[in-house]
């Protein structure tokens, strides 16, 4: 028992000092850092568990189940440039921007097991939740130089600003049925709609200085609109044994059509990564999200403490959807050279004191942007049940860094080295479920 306690303590410490990857700057082009499952599934590594994370495939505790999710997504983005000595060696990184924004989102779902009350072998669900989070907040304080021999703090000359608001949400209707005693199959109809998306980029000038990207205040506010669209997802589960189940899920490709006052995705020639520029005319482009296939499993192990292991694998064919046509004053073709991605998740759930769950999970996923953006995350969570009410809380963490150019380059700036971007985030999710 002492060994188990020490092991869990070390594991928790490792998890808590590791924060979650994001690349949030690319959010208008690639969805990232959001996790569909509720708090319990998120904590126990069921992120890529196929159909198991869908309400229509879960065993209903009562006839009806109402679920509310609250998500808190916070991240820290630190930008720095290398300091070079006379031998052209990098001696340190000089941090010039540090941002720690946080955003809150809400979701709900309602499911009904028609078999328990009406003896109909169907489970239906309705839900509304976050699908694609665009929110990003970047504020860079730019200070003027007072020159040598002056010991007062350099005055603020202005700010460089990028702010993205809004999201795409998903309204879902699901239906599953039982085939025999071991299999379930189901369909989910998804309707995607825009939720107040906007894009702000510019320079707020207090005093002219060569460190600013503009001599005068110049801030552009762009409306970013998305045409609503739909898709149908297929899923199934099968009980191999009483304690072993597998689940499969297929999501077809999805086309999102964007229009704005001038925002355009482009390929940064130096880094070969996505970037965004602002045109003087209206712009139109489509983002194609790849099809997704996932295979999950769930098993109860023979253990004195009630223990479950959950996991799964996912594949996305990003390489088929890396070419974009951007229409503005002319038509440009942009190729981002995406690569197909593979990911897996694994987790454990222990039930202690007969009813209290302890959940731990791990996730790895490749990125369509390349090896530098591969994602490794760790999750942890617990919960409690009080009669027909249950509350689950989870958090998922990770960190990564990559090289990118300065978002606001100036004429006086030397660009022999790329900036370093260290990004970390923490996603906390709470689920309140009432069964009746």
pLDDT tens-digit map of 34-68: 566 789 888 887 778 878 888 888 776 568 999 99
Q: What angle do CA 323, 329, 335 make, to 5 degrees?
A: 15
209-230 residues labelled b (16+ CB within 10 A) or e (exposed): bebbbbeeeeeeebebebeeee
The CA distance from 365 to 87, in Å, is: 39
- C-beta of residue 64 within 8 angstroms of C-beta of residue 410: no
- C-beta of residue 119 within 8 angstroms of C-beta of residue 103: no
Q: Which domains does the chain have, with CATH numbers?
A: 2-435 (2.40.160.60)
Question: Phi, psi at residue 271, to the nearest 5°?
Answer: -95, -15
The sign of the CA dihedral 292, 288, 267, 403 is negative
pLDDT tens digit sequence for 166-185: 999 999 999 999 998 899 99
The CA distance from 64 to 435, in Å, is: 6
The CA distance from 417 to 90, in Å, is: 10
Q: Give the pLDDT score at 34.
A: 59
The CA distance from 279 to 293, in Å, is: 37
* 398: Cα within 13 Å, side-chain hemisphere: 23
Residue 227: both structure tokens together: 């045409």
The sign of the CA dihedral 385, 107, 105, 364 is positive
Residue 315: both structure tokens together: 């594949």
- C-beta of residue 90 within 8 angstroms of C-beta of residue 73: no
Q: What is the DSSP letter of 18?
A: -
- C-beta of residue 295 within 8 angstroms of C-beta of residue 312: yes
pTM of the model: 0.88
The CA distance from 105 to 136, in Å, is: 14
pLDDT tens digit sequence for 237-251: 999 998 999 999 999
Burial class (CB in 10 A: 0-12, 13-18, 19+), 285: buried
The residues with which 255 forms a beta bridge, in sequence order, are 288
Q: Where are the beta strands (DSSP E) in 151-243?
A: 156-179, 183-205, 218-226, 229-241
The whole-number average pLDDT for the span 393-419 is 84
The residues with which 346 forms a beta bridge, in sequence order, are 311, 362
Q: Which range, 53-67, 108-122, 285-299, is most confident?
A: 285-299
Find the Cα–Cα–Cα–Cα dihedral 408, 412, 415, 421, rounded to 10°.
Answer: -40
Helix (H, G, I), strand (E, B), or coil: what is residue 129? strand
pLDDT tens digit sequence for 326-376: 998 888 889 999 999 999 999 999 998 878 899 999 989 999 988 888 888
Q: Where are the beta strands (DSSP E) in 44-121?
A: 64-84, 90-99, 102-113
Task: Please name which of 401, 390, 403 lies closest in space to residue 433, comparing C-alpha atoms.
Answer: 390
- C-beta of residue 312 within 8 angstroms of C-beta of residue 294: yes
Q: What is the DSSP letter of 4?
A: H
Rg (alpha carbons) of the chain, rounded to whole number: 24
- C-beta of residue 37 within 8 angstroms of C-beta of residue 388: no
The CA distance from 198 to 161, in Å, is: 14
The CA distance from 184 to 174, in Å, is: 13
Task: Please name which of 194, 87, 154, 140 lies closest in space to residue 410, comparing C-alpha atoms.
Answer: 140
pLDDT bracket for residue 291 (50, 70, 90): very high
Please say if the pLDDT value at position 10 is more than 90: no
Q: Give the pLDDT score at 6.
A: 40
Find the Cα–Cα–Cα–Cα dihedral 368, 372, 375, 378, rounded to 10°.
Answer: 180
CB atoms within 10 A of CB 151: 5
């Amino acid at each position: 028992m002492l060994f188990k306690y020490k092991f869990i303590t070390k594991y928790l410490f490792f998890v808590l000092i590791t924060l979650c990857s994001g690349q949030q700057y690319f959010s208008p082009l690639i969805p990232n850092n959001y996790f569909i499952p509720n708090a319990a599934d998120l904590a126990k590594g069921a992120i890529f568990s196929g159909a198991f994370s869908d309400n229509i495939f879960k065993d209903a505790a009562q006839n009806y189940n109402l679920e509310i999710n609250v998500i808190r997504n916070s991240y820290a983005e630190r930008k720095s440039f290398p300091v070079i000595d006379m031998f052209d060696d990098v001696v340190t990184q000089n941090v010039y921007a540090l941002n720690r924004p946080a955003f809150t989102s809400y979701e709900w779902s309602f499911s009904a097991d028609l078999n328990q009350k009406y003896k109909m072998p169907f489970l239906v669900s309705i839900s509304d939740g976050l699908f694609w989070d665009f929110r990003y907040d970047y504020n860079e304080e730019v200070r003027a130089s007072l020159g040598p021999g002056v010991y007062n703090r350099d005055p603020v000359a202005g700010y460089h600003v990028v702010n993205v608001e809004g999201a795409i949400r998903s309204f879902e209707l699901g239906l599953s049925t039982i085939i025999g005693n071991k299999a379930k199959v189901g369909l989910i109809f998804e309707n995607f709609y825009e939720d107040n998306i906007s894009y702000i980029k510019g320079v707020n000038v207090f005093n002219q200085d060569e460190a600013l990207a503009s001599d005068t205040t110049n801030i552009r506010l762009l409306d970013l609109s998305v045409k609503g669209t739909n898709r149908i997802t297929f899923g199934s589960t099968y009980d191999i044994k009483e304690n072993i189940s597998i689940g499969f899920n297929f999501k077809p490709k999805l086309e999102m059509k964007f229009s704005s006052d001038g925002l355009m995705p482009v390929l940064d020639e130096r880094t070969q990564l996505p970037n965004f520029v602002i045109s003087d005319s209206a712009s139109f482009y489509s983002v194609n999200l790849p099809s997704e296939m996932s295979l999950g499993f769930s098993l109860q192990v023979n253990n004195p403490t009630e223990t479950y292991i959950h996991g799964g694998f996912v594949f996305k064919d990003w390489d088929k959807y890396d070419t974009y046509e951007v229409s503005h004053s002319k038509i440009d073709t942009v190729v981002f050279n995406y690569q197909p991605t593979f990911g897996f998740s694994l987790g454990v759930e222990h039930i202690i004191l007969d009813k209290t769950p302890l959940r731990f999970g791990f996730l790895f996923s490749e990125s369509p942007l390349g090896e530098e953006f591969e994602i490794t995350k760790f999750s942890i969570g617990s919960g409690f049940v009080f009669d027909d009410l249950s509350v689950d809380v989870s958090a998922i963490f990770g960190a990564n860094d990559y090289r990118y150019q300065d978002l606001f380059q100036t004429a006086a700036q030397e660009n022999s080295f790329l900036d370093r971007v260290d990004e970390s985030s923490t996603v906390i999710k709470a689920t309140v479920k009432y069964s009746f």
